[in-house]
Structure 1
Amino acid sequence: MTDDYQVRLDPLPDPDVLRESWQALEARSACSVFLRWPWIESWLAMIGDSRGDAWLVTVSLAARTVGLGLIVGRRTRNGLGTRGLWLHETGDPVLDNLTVEYNGLLSESGRESACLQAMIRHLARSGPRWSLLHLPGIPAHHLDMRQLQDEGLDLQCKESATPYVDLAALRKGGQSYLSGLSANNRSAIRRTARRIEQKFGALSLRLVDGAGARLEAFDRLCDLHQRHWSGRGGGAFADPRIVAFHRRLLADPRMQHQLQLLALMAGERPVGYVYGLIWGGATYFYQAGIDYDAHAGSGSPGLLMLSLAVQHACDAGQARYEFMAGDSRYKRALATQADRLVWLTLDRSGWLLRARRAWRRLKSRGGAAR
């Protein structure tokens, strides 16, 4: 029963106090890598003074802290100047391009859904004035949509598949990852490997080790990634604050075994790099950089590199390889299963909700008149 949970919102405490509270609860949680303290600490450093209003959400049960989260508030630009709240995001689309998935409250293991529902219920009935509450990248099974509707909230929901490979099942079945792919994808991967080896030399996937080497490889990855994507929507590393966020994590000794950079080499020439996050028995594919200029006409260097990265994770004993949210063709080609994440916006009931609907109707009529 969420009635048994108490929820409190406070201004952000001193960083040392927040770190101690967060790490104490993290030790009792089954959280994703995106809710671990090193990620949260680096995120707070990245957003700095641009975060607007911010609160620490504390969920308690019988005087024991069982949930923590960070809420950021700011005015939105939707024609009405409404106030929005974001969970572990800022409302700034540039900064939020960092992309947080498997989000929610940091919760005591098994209480993820109850803590999240308790927070939403508290915000719906009290707390700071707000009109829109944004909950990005929440596991679908952590949300009870019927309960949310019972609170009188208008729901705007976007779901996305999160394709993954069940590595534990592969090992149990005694098969290689490549052998389980479709004949067409196996053929494309092998053909690409042959072409690259014929031109540049034998292929090898190498783990980049050492702080200096990791930062150097990450910089090369960013350069290759941006070179490819700058004319196709900007890329994941277009903003220097996001680059600094990842460089800070890569230099953090606490994340030595949770951040992974793999280099695919042809002879001594890099084909590309894979940047992954490792936590809780899963490897999360975050981004990649590929030298498409050097390997134009080789086929599918991205499929080749990621297939080798998946096999590497399998050989390392990981349980899952997560491709993260999205319906890209390469994810469908390489994944064996999929979960669901939800990007949920809760629209608070009241006069502002009715005003927004009236405003939308007026806009619609104006567009039809033109």
Structure 2
Amino acid sequence: ATENTVNKFSEVLEFKRVDICSPDFVVNLINIKDSDDYLKDLSKNTRSQINRSLKLLTQQGSIELKQAITRTEKNLYLKEISKIHIKKWGNTQFGSGFSNPIFTKFHSDNLHADIEGEHCRLYSLNLDNKPLAYVYIIKNTEKWYFYLSAIKNNRDNKVKIGLVIHTLLINEAINNGANCYSFLAGEARYKRSMSNTPVSLQELVCFYRPTAFPLCREKLRAIKRQILSLYSDFIKSSK
């Protein structure tokens, strides 16, 4: 939530809590003509990694950023994204959204309903027509939002597939007249290195009325945080 939005809600509802607070990384595309112009804003190390990766890939074959246009292509991309995403995140703490059929159907319906790709798009980075990675973009006229990616394993650790596909997508966003490419919330080294603006914060703020149940629930949450904090301190002191 933006500070202005939070302030407006605070005028009506006094009680609130912050459920999520996370850094947000953005690429400002205003006055950026193309990807070469964008790369000038990045550190020498990041620029070097991107250029080296592009060079190594082009030595192996022809690289192409391809958008899924037809229903068949969208189904294929989404199926591949789901497979890679579940393999990588399925057994982690939060799992993969693609393990949930409701989640998958929601995004499938959105992609098929948006025939012209005005609000959501799927892209594939191909090497000689073989996919290396996929990215799901949510967009409007002025802003592109990176929603998620699915990157296949690459044996050459000098080739940074993620940096390459984001660079090509940023160039695509520029060509489509966007003035912003957002990596959305979530700390990640590549997001920080590819952003050309100071980091900001995104918050998920929950407002509630001061009735008995919400107040009791917040009190229990506060007790839980205290217990977890004491337990953490105990573990540290016992080491």
1:169 alignment partner, one of 31, 36, 39: 31
Cα–Cα, structure 1 residues 154 and 300, in superposed 2: closer, same or farther, change >3 Å? same
Shift of 1:296: 4.7
Cα–Cα, structure 1 residues 219 and 361, in superposed 2: closer, same or farther, change >3 Å? closer
Q: Please say if residues 35 and 171 of structure 2, whose CA atoms lie closer than 8 Å, have aligned partners that are also in contact.
A: no
Gaps of 5+ in 1: 1-137
CA distance in 2, matches of 1:324, 1:362: 29
Written as runs of structure 1 = structure 2, the 5 A alignment for 1:1-370 is 138-144=1-7, 148=10, 151-156=13-18, 158-171=20-33, 176-198=37-59, 200-233=60-93, 234-253=95-114, 256-292=117-153, 294-337=154-197, 338-352=199-213, 353=215, 357=219, 360-361=222-223
Shift of 1:248: 0.9
Q: Please say if residues 125 and 133 of structure 2, whose CA atoms lie closer than 8 Å, have aligned partners that are also in contact.
A: yes
CA distance in 2, matches of 1:256, 1:362: 45
CA distance in 1, matches of 2:226, 2:30: 51
Aligned amino acid, residue 140 of structure 1 = E
The TM-score normalised by the length of structure 1 is: 0.54
Question: % of aligned pairs identical?
Answer: 21
Aligned amino acid, residue 290 of structure 1 = I
CA distance in 2, matches of 1:300, 1:209: 26
Q: Please say if residues 215 and 250 of structure 1, whose CA atoms lie closer than 8 Å, have aligned partners that are also in contact.
A: no
2:40 partner SS: helix
CA distance in 1, matches of 2:224, 2:155: 52
Gaps of 5+ in 2: 235-239
Q: Please say if residues 26 and 184 of structure 2, whose CA atoms lie closer than 8 Å, have aligned partners that are also in contact.
A: yes
Aligned residues: 229
Cα distance per residue 1:171-208 (max 9 Å; x no partner): 3x99522232111011111222233344x412221222
Shift of 1:307: 1.3
CA distance in 1, matches of 2:190, 2:38: 15
Aligned amino acid, residue 23 of structure 2 = A
Shift of 1:242: 0.7
Q: Please say if residues 161 and 326 of structure 1, whose CA atoms lie closer than 8 Å, have aligned partners that are also in contact.
A: yes
Q: Please say if residues 196 and 298 of structure 1, whose CA atoms lie closer than 8 Å, have aligned partners that are also in contact.
A: no
Cα distance per residue 1:73-125 (max 9 Å; x no partner): xxxxxxxxxxxxxxxxxxxxxxxxxxxxxxxxxxxxxxxxxxxxxxxxxxxxx
Shift of 1:360: 4.9
CA distance in 2, matches of 1:310, 1:366: 42
Q: Please say if residues 191 and 299 of structure 1, whose CA atoms lie closer than 8 Å, have aligned partners that are also in contact.
A: yes
Aligned amino acid, residue 106 of structure 2 = F
Aligned amino acid, residue 258 of structure 1 = H
CA distance in 2, matches of 1:366, 1:324: 29
Shift of 1:252: 1.0
Shift of 1:228: 2.4
2:87 partner SS: helix
Please give the root-mean-square deviation of Cα atoms over the aligned residues, in Å: 3.2
State the structure with more CA Rg. Answer: 1
Q: Please say if residues 310 and 321 of structure 1, whose CA atoms lie closer than 8 Å, have aligned partners that are also in contact.
A: yes
